[in-house]
Structure 1
Amino acid sequence: MGSSLLPTIVVASLLLYALATPANTRGLPLWCAAVIGSKCFACWDARRILRGRIGPWRAYRLERWLILLNAIDGAAWGALAWTGFDPGSTANSILVVAVLSGIVGNAMSMLSPVLPVFAIFCVFELGALSLKAWSLDELQFRTLSLAVVVYFFSLLSQGRNSARAARAAIQLKFDNIGLIRQLRIESDKTRHALHAAEQANLAKSRFLAAASHDLRQPIHAQGLFLEVLARSPLNDSQRTVLASARAASEASAGMLHTLLDFSRIEAGVIEAQLEGFALQPLLAKLESELAPQANAKGLVYRTRDSGLALRSDRGLLELIVRNLVTNAVRYTERGGVLVACRKRAGHAVLEVWDSGIGIAPEQQEEIFREFHQLGNPERDRQKGLGLGLSIARGLAQLLGHELTVASRPGRGSVFRLAVPLAAMPALSGAPLAAPALDAPARRALPLRVLVIDDDAIVRISMQELLAGWGCDCQVADGIEPALALAATWLPDMIISDYRLREQRTGAEAIAMLRAQAGHAIPALLITGDTAPARLREARASGVPLLHKPTSPEQLYRSMEQVRGRGHHANTDSANELHCH
């Protein structure tokens, strides 16, 4: 309404000037005042209505009110045909008809959304023009009268289409509002569900970390006690029992180390050390260690010799292939396993083939999820924890190597790992694995060792084991007892559990003991934690880190290394990862 006020005033004023004759000196000014007054009132009324709340309960009354106002407005405009129309002037006749036709056409855009309002405006405006033309009793004007009637019905048809389009647009707007509201509700539900899933996942991780830590303590002590027992005089029967006990302990440790590998990947504390190296020694090492497992199941284990040199992290690549081969052996009951490497388009593809149960297409991505296993509803521990492939995928992503699988159910599977080629094998480098030290081969370690651990059974087992290695070992269950002991008995080495009582850490204990001594005492941290945050904290301390359960061989080697290198000792990512 507001946008039509000024044009109405201008058009009415111009018509008053152009159509003025001695015969309409009184009627035309009254018409002009009526048109402008009607439009001004309509604008004022529209603003009044919009200031209030327009609810559905007002629709009927508003429609009737608008019909009344526009009937008056249409009649005011139609009065132009009676006050300003001059049959004797062609120019006059054309101007009046053109103006009234234009006004009613313009009204369509404003009034047609409510069709009865538009219709009543047309009836009064065009009706006045049609009646005036008919009343002149001439063929030409009566023809004009009928043409106005036809024009009226044409406008109504167009107005109906316009009303439908406007109603559809309004309905679409409300539909969109409803859709947005529904999407917002669904988004809130999804956000709440995601939050709940994240909380459940955090709870799972906390539970696994806590359970893993609590399980590692006694298994760690058990391994140390079994080592002490192995050094004592035993008969053949007792040694057989001891061998079985050590096998059971190693199996438990193996599962816990698998959880540790997974937690270390989640924590992001593994750093790849890329180098060039020959592949064949790695393949030979894996065959010598894993072929006996395949032979025990009646499977054929084959490795194709390779002269290729790869660029990767030697230890991490070994762990990936080891997990793939172990997985192949576990899920193959007849036939065999083949490990091969072929050169393709500037890179090498390591392949592990098996003739096992195969993997359905819909499961070929799921198998890389943690704790996901095929064909093991009873959770047979001989089939592992369902983490091997998840660890392999995580390490492959860390190294930037693509790991894929192709499989046919009942026919077997092939896992492919794409690894960049090296220009030539490295001439030197760390060995793939340090040889295990047998008890008779160990040299005595004449060291004063302070062990800090809040678990009594771990303290006892460590004291027994280290005493057997020639160490003078003292133990403390916390930081304050350790500081008091070190004030009169200065240790040559500190071995501390990472998590101590009262939310304190072994890294804190080592720092305080070094500050008290005035120099950097060689030290080792041992942790049973697998929580990602704890692993990151322990690594950030800069002290060499071992993970419970720690084998006596690994502990002995680490003590020799730290003794030789002092506080600068550190461990690389490959040594920190457990290789079965």
Structure 2
Amino acid sequence: MNLSIVNPRDSLERQNEKLLKIASALMRRVEQASADSGEAFANFERALMLEAEVRARTRDLEQTLQLLNESNARLAQAMSDAERARSDLYDAIEAVKEGFALFDSDDVLVMHNSRFAQTLPDVADKLGPGLNFVDYVRFCSHSRFIIFPEDMSRQDWVTQRLATHRRQSVNFNVRLSGDRWLQVSEQRTPGQGTAMLQTEITELIKMERQERDKLLDEQARLIRATLDHIDQGICIFDRDQRLVGWNARLRDLLSPPIQILRVGTPFAVFSEHFGRSRLFDETEGPRRLGQWVDCPEARMPLTMELHTRDNVYLDVFGQEMPDRGFVISFTDVTAEREAQIAMNAANAGLERRVQERTIALQEALAEAELANASKSRFVAAASHDLLQPLSAAKLFLASLERSSAGEDVLDTVRRVQSAFESVEGILGALLDISRLDSGNAALSITNVPLGQVLAQLGSEFREIARQKRLDLRVVPTRLVVRSDASYLRRIVQNLLANAVRYTRTGKVLLGVRRRGGRARIEVWDTGPGIPEAERAAIFREFQRLGTSVGAEEGMGLGLAIVERACALLGHDLDLVSEVGRGTGFRVSVALADGEEIAASELLGRPSSEEVHPADLIVLVIENDKVVRMALTALLESWGVSTLEASGLADADALLQELGIAPDIMLADYHLDDGKNGLDAITAIRATQGIIPAALVTADRTDEVAERCRQLGVVLLNKPVAPARLRALLASVVPATSRLMG
């Protein structure tokens, strides 16, 4: 039916009106036509059909209009509810008696109440959502209402204020003009934001002055001056365990609120506050101090050490006075402890070097002990450097399983062979690197085609980069250089492995630039970058950047081997990095005289774009032998390694024997001897860490589902669908040789 006379841009009512007119006209034509005419009858039938379609279209349009009206009503209600909630939130904040402000995890002001702006009127007009905390502090430092301490400049005040802001919890006082005082309290929120309260404490300060003035005579003033000029934080309690004196250093070290640091405050209030605020990172020290204070008999002198969550070491000394009162002093010994740790490390290094020189002088035992040391270094390095080619080999083998074309199979076999050849080459290179310090390393300087080295490494790492969703690009080259092929490949492999490992998102680029008579091999990434202060440390053995993504996968030997190999070969090594943007390593190698190879020889076959399944280790806990065998057969058909156990005892024994932890656990709920799979999962996690787990059960009760939710365990109801099980395994990031510890 041709409806071109109806304009689709008209409203629904207008379209209905036109269609009804069309139907009415057709009906009139039918009525005017001859009743005996076959053509009139046909027109009549078409008119009836048209009317039915018009009615159906009208009903559809009416239903659509009704749904649209309902959706608009719900949207209006939701917007009204959101506006009401926002209004209630601001009303609640405005009702707070203190000045309140909230900064998010990026230290940007989210909201504040009017009392927060009243404290410093000349800063109020600068307050508003989006204000950075650093700018807020700078604005405050220029306020004419703040009175800085006599020995502190405005810049010093800003520096100290920003330093205290980095703590988890802090309380401090600010003096204002007109002899007014303000207590500022900051507390980190669970989302790493900052909640700030400003409380007027002028009256408390004045009351404290009056009470202290009443107690102070000439001798008391002398004692007070002495206490305030020593470097220890001191608090004095009477026989009733009530505070009678303290010095300014105590406030600096412990930052107690002004409400607690008052004459007459019981020691129990101090203990409760520090326990609630979690100032110290352990409870044994504060508990021991409390037991000493509550001792009913004569207290012996107490010496102990406390460690705060801000990484400050405090030497604590307690002494009882003749009237059963007591004095507690706190000394900051952080510098001494850090120096002691550094000295211990230096002594350990010195002892190790002395031992190595002693062993070298023992000719009868030198060869055997050197072989053992080389073997140990080789094993440690292999655990780091064999990760990439072995992982690549597993991925290629997985693609071989699914390959159907003969050429694809041959191509995959060649890639697997190439990966294992890489392992053999690495083993030989590591054995040579272990001799670098002794000067016995054997070099074979030849012409090395860089294109072949880069193409082979790109093929090995491409699948690994794909798993991390990184864009790995290898630029072909025809340059030939003079170097040792094994060591040069080892250098580039380590640099490329680090780039892929430490880059979370973005790109990794491997290429070569010609610079005069030298070729500069460059590896660039978009990773986190390396701070300038840590660039020298990363080339030492077992040094890793703690903030790097995936740093736990390596042992910190890769760049140490790169530096030594470059020094041995005379290749210049250069590092360029910017924190937050990425890192580039550049190795400069001498070009061979006039030699190049065709670019077509460097490319080889394109890498497969097929996505390979992960190589997982799955622990299966099932007391039914037939079910256990069936589940194991299914998993192994997917290329998954399985560890079988009939219960918790068998699983513990198996994990202890193998010395590895699985990537995921599949446990039946009903086990032998009244045990269940959730208890087994909990027990294994207590020794192996939080391992992903799924409970396979026919029990569909709410109790089992709730326990799984609380423990973070996936619930798979029997019979298990293979597709769901495979999807679960695909969601687990494969672990690489996780040692039990």
Structure number with the bigger relative contact order (C-alpha 8 A, sep ≥ 6) is: 1
Q: TM-score by structure 2 length? A: 0.25
Higher strand share: 2
Higher helix share: 1
